[in-house]
Structure 1
Amino acid sequence: MTEYRIETDSMGDRQIPANAYYGIQTLRAMENFPISGHQPLPTYIEACVLIKKATATANRELDCIPADISEAIIAAADEILAGQLRDQFVVDIYQAGAGTSHHMNVNEVLANRALERLGEEKGSYHKVSPNDHVNYGQSTNDVIPTAIRIAALLALHRQFFPALEASIATLNRKAEEFQDVVKSGRTHMQDAVPVRLGEDFRAWAVILNDHLRRIRYASEDLHILGLGGSASGTGLNTHPRYRFRCAELLGEYIGQPLKSAPHLMAAMQSLSPFVAVSGSLRNLAQDLVKISHDLRLMDSGPKTGLKEIQLPPVQPGSSIMPGKYNPVMAEMTSMVCFQVMGLDQAIALCAQAGQLELNVMMPLVAYDLIHSIEILGNTLEALNRRCLAGISANRDRCLAYAEGSLALVTALNPHIGYLNAAAVAKESLNTGKSLRELVLEKELMSEAKLAEVLDLEKMSQLPPSLEELP
């Protein structure tokens, strides 16, 4: 039989499973919000517990809570940070506004584990209280927006930025490898003037590097914390030095320069830092979709498509067609990016839905923003390792398309005129004769001059930079 303990809150008594580290407020939230089955992300739990560790440390140093209680809370926090008790964070991500339910879940788990460490029974909150000790000087209203900032920074710096930087490096390596491969350019999905395959890859590297710069810039505002604002930004029930010490401690924990916001009410009310980061992720996702679609087109075939490149085959592509391989890593990338775009829209809607001294839509922002960072980081890592790094060029196919492109006629414009060039292109398409053959046949240019003008290597070179000009 399940054993229970009795806990009491302002609404009455309830039975709590005796082995549970959560308490009565968590139980009520579990009953109220059986919505999705999705529970808080591990990075978000970590951020919340780091905050509780910092606040317990600061409050001990400032003589706001007894040292033995503070030390027990800190020890409990360290256990959770090491991976213990993670199954005790059980509140659905769709929950009470502002995140009070999840916040109290964190407070109760820490209080009950601290009680055990002090030789007390779980639920005997006279010794260690979730509200009076673990939550001393805090409110959901300043803890949760701080936790979103901390979790987002953890996710960005641990995995996302390294994955994006590695993808950029791989694209630059491929640019060098394919620099001598000339292929047909295509605009409007039609033949265009020749380009270098290497420059396609270099262009993608530049695009991603620009996104890296934008996301880093957008993430700077995450370093400004509203912790210490308490319920409405006034700092009620906090020590004057508390917020500054908490920012210092949290910065040490995550290895980032953090500081207390100059205006705590502003930090509590506006979710604009999260919108900025989410928007920069959406912007990246849009270009990643374009790149993943380009990869699929360039790999299309193998007999009836472009097949200018070969993406690494990583799994069989069909349950019925033997020997078929699909561009699955590029396909997965697009789907993840579509999800990120949708999550960004939800975050934008949440951000404009605040009233007066608080925006209560933070639980959804917390999940969607951290989830976006983590799935994009995982996607970039997988795409780089299992796709980009192993791409090879079909050099003969690329050259054949480049030489057969009607768009080569563009180089003839300055020498035979636009109308003559258009007539030659039309006749080439109708008769199957090459551009070179028709120009010589019509005596529009000498053979030597034509060879010089239709030099694919020269045509596909990028223009020099200002520094390279004489």
Structure 2
Amino acid sequence: MPTPSRIEHDAFGPVEIPSDRYWGAQTQRALGLFEIGEERFPAALIRAFGLQKYAAARANAQCGVLAPELASAIEKAAIELREGRWDDHFPLTIWQTGSGTQTNMNANEVIANRANQLLGQPLGTKTPVHPNDHVNRSQSSNDSFPTVMHVAAAIEVNGRLRPALDQLRSALAERSQAFADVLKVARTHLMDAVPMTMGQTFGTFAHQVSNALARMDDALPRLLVLPQGGTAAGTGLNAPAGFDGFFCATLSEVTGLPFVPSPHKFEGMAAHDALVELSGALNTIATSLLKIAIDIRFLASGPRCGLGELRIPDDGLTSSIMPGKRNPTIAEVLVQACFQVIGNHQTITIANASGNFELNVAKPVLVYNLLQSLRVLADSASVFARRCVRGIDVDREQLTTNVERSLLAVTALNPILGYDRVAQITATALRDRVTPRAAAIALGFLDGDEYDRLVQHPVNCLINYPTVNRAAGA
């Protein structure tokens, strides 16, 4: 049986649309034109459009350019969009015109059709609520789409990424405290170095994540500056006086975020530097988390033939061919997510540089990659904290053996014996396969009690080094 359909009209004539779909003629035409890829905007962007259209309708009513009864119907439909009721009615991929016009029109059409339905009219009537004349009143895709980009990114930063990073920082700081008295051998250039504590290792990780939170917070204020009200080119054509202020006030009230109108709307439409800045912070955060995940993966390698200093939680997964094999799957997921974020930053950078005069024309691909970076970084950091970091333990026996066999604990003897004699101790220990303590005694430089007092004292001092407080940002 043929799918039931209805006929809608736009400036180019009639269009056949599936009867149960809330989109309209422009969206349907775009569906037939942009037959490219499968990448669709995430729900975060679609729902941010609900917020944007809600705030625009309210601002239009406050400015006296939209009848209250129409504004009310648009607001109700927009809130439903924000709540996710109409996610399935946004069928377009990101591969569309560079201003995002087709997705802006998709939002206008869905909201107009739903508003008319709330007012007792069938889908497709365009009356009393028209998608362009009423839902898109005082707006253009050129200022609405970048506004939605900022709103969606700010909500994701504040509501998703920040809690995830804070969760990871807390988990790492807790492990730092738990391992504060566990000695290990530091490694530089992948080679044995001086002793330290495992608490200091995890304290370093926690401090990296504290810095990640600070970098994210540094970028957030520029996200809260919106170009809404600039309309087609930044001049404000067809937007009434005060519209931008009313718009931002409504948006701030609904989201709890202090959005403000851009004082120079041309800039907010022609370029998206604030979004590249945020992506740059995400790129840096990704490199931090990549380092942390790789270090933990190597420290836990084994269990018999690797470093074997850490024990990571069992995830219940194994090899398809090697029975009982355990792999660092959660760390590997985080590593791959970081790779994606780092690659996305390159796309975002090039997309921002592709503006022509008064309009950036790569908005869809830019925001798609940015929102993906925010999502995968937040989700993978949260999973890593909950399912890996919080359950990490140390293999004390392995660590003790490593510390006892370590050659470079004798670096503490440099002020007493001098560099050359200490080098003689390490060379002898390495050649004769004995401990540095035994080598120092055999060479006649120190007796056992002297060695223990001089070498163990600086090692014991490490245990009291305040890594946990420093990692927590205290």
Give the TM-score normalised by the residue count of structure 1.
0.96
- Cα distance change on mapping 1:463 and 1:16 into 2, 3 Å: closer
Within a 5 Å distance, the mapping from 1:195-274 to structure 2 comes to 195-274=196-275
What's the offset of the Cα at 1:198? 0.5
AA matched with 2:435: S
AA matched with 2:204: A
Aligned to 1:149: 150
Q: Deviations over 1:13-57 (max 9, x none)?
A: 221122211011101111122222122211101111100001111
Aligned to 1:73: 74
Aligned to 2:410: 409
Within a 5 Å distance, the mapping from 1:47-446 to structure 2 comes to 47-446=48-447
Aligned to 2:460: 458
SS in 2 for 1:153: helix
Taking the aligned partners of 1:437 and 1:376, their CA distance within structure 2 comes to 49
SS in 2 for 1:440: helix
SS in 1 for 2:181: coil
Taking the aligned partners of 2:37 and 2:464, their CA distance within structure 1 comes to 52
Contact map agreement 2:414 2:422 (CA 8 A) in 1: yes
Taking the aligned partners of 1:291 and 1:176, their CA distance within structure 2 comes to 17
SS in 1 for 2:6: strand
Taking the aligned partners of 1:403 and 1:443, their CA distance within structure 2 comes to 20
Report how many aligned residue pairs link the two structures: 465
What's the offset of the Cα at 1:189? 0.8
Q: Deviations over 1:157-198 (max 9, x none)?
A: 112101111111111111111000000111111100001000
Structure 2 unaligned segments of length 5 or more: list them: 468-474
Taking the aligned partners of 1:89 and 1:42, their CA distance within structure 2 comes to 10
Contact map agreement 2:58 2:75 (CA 8 A) in 1: yes
Moved more, 116-125 or 338-347: 116-125
AA matched with 1:150: V
What's the offset of the Cα at 1:59? 0.8
Aligned to 1:468: none
Structure 1 unaligned segments of length 5 or more: list them: 466-470
SS in 2 for 1:7: strand
Aligned to 1:26: 27
What's the offset of the Cα at 1:390? 0.5
AA matched with 1:306: L
Moved more, 455-464 or 278-287: 455-464
Contact map agreement 2:59 2:247 (CA 8 A) in 1: yes
Taking the aligned partners of 1:129 and 1:395, their CA distance within structure 2 comes to 71
What's the offset of the Cα at 1:201? 0.5
What's the offset of the Cα at 1:297? 0.7
AA matched with 2:382: E
What's the offset of the Cα at 1:461? 5.0
SS in 2 for 1:460: helix
Contact map agreement 1:166 1:384 (CA 8 A) in 2: yes
Contact map agreement 2:98 2:361 (CA 8 A) in 1: yes
Contact map agreement 2:165 2:382 (CA 8 A) in 1: yes
Contact map agreement 1:40 1:90 (CA 8 A) in 2: no
What's the offset of the Cα at 1:144? 0.8
What is the identity percentage for the equivalent residue pairs of Structure 1 and Structure 2?
Answer: 36
Q: Deviations over 1:322-358 (max 9, x none)?
A: 1111111101100000000011110000011101000
What's the offset of the Cα at 1:417? 2.1
Moved more, 131-140 or 398-407: 398-407
AA matched with 2:133: D
Q: Deviations over 1:271-299 (max 9, x none)?
A: 10000000000101001111101001110
What's the offset of the Cα at 1:464? 8.1
Give the TM-score normalised by the residue count of structure 2.
0.95
Contact map agreement 2:245 2:261 (CA 8 A) in 1: yes
What's the offset of the Cα at 1:128? 1.4
SS in 1 for 2:99: helix
SS in 2 for 1:74: helix
Contact map agreement 1:22 1:105 (CA 8 A) in 2: yes
Taking the aligned partners of 2:108 and 2:298, their CA distance within structure 1 comes to 52
Moved more, 419-428 or 256-265: 419-428
Q: Deviations over 1:202-221 (max 9, x none)?
A: 11111110111011111110
